[in-house]
Amino acid sequence: METLITTDHVSVKLPPVVSRAQAIADKADKTLVIVSRHRMFATVHSGMCKFYLPCPCGNFGNLSMAACNCTVEEITDWQRTMKNDNASGIVFVEGYLRWSDFVFDKNFTEAALLLFKQAYTELSLTANNVVDMSDCAAIIANMDDSAKIDACHIAEAISYRLH
């Protein structure tokens, strides 16, 4: 399984569009730039793929989007970063990660995962939120001398984000 993020308690699978683009780039021995408006990708560099945030308005070069309204200076700065990495191609990634893209370890109870899934949908959590909350819930469970991460630990971890 190719992953975007892997920690002690959770890993996030690469979205299909990214793993396909990555496989093609690897075979062609090219460096590919993945541009995504989702901040969760911004710090991930995987194999021959490098991830970047889009231009400040988010629309440059993306045919399915409205026109870019950034200044020439903003676009020049944005493109310079990618040119420095000798990119051969650019892929735009849309869409959020699905809940099924998260793989949790067996320390989470069914009730914990059910509550977590609900929070992911209702609070529009990012992949980084899920990873941070998993770590936080694991710490809380440990402090409670609980072998499993249960719904109450998830609930407490979620509450810290909202403050």
Q: Return the closest-CA partner of residue 6 out of 136, 102, 113.
A: 102
Distances (CA, A) of 135 to 50, 115, 138, 155: 26, 16, 5, 13
Q: Return the closest-CA partner of residue 129 out of 121, 138, 137, 120.
A: 120
**Based on CB atoms, which residue is closest to Zn ion, 78 or 102?**
78
Contact between 52 and Zn ion (CB under 5 A)?
no
Contact between 68 and Zn ion (CB under 5 A)?
yes
Which residues, 69 to 98, sit near Zn ion by CB under 5 A? 70
Piece of 12-20, 28-36, 48-56, 129-137 that binds Zn ion (CB under 5 A)? 48-56
Piece of 9-17, 68-76, 109-117, 143-151 that binds Zn ion (CB under 5 A)? 68-76
Total of residues contacting Zn ion (CB under 5 A) = 6
Q: Return the closest-CA partner of residue 32 out of 40, 21, 41.
A: 21
CB of 34 to Zn ion, least distance (A): 17
CB 49 within 8 A of CB 90: no
The amino acid at 11 = S
Contact between 51 and Zn ion (CB under 5 A)?
no
Contact between 55 and Zn ion (CB under 5 A)?
yes
Residues that bind Zn ion (CB under 5 A): 55, 57, 59-60, 68, 70
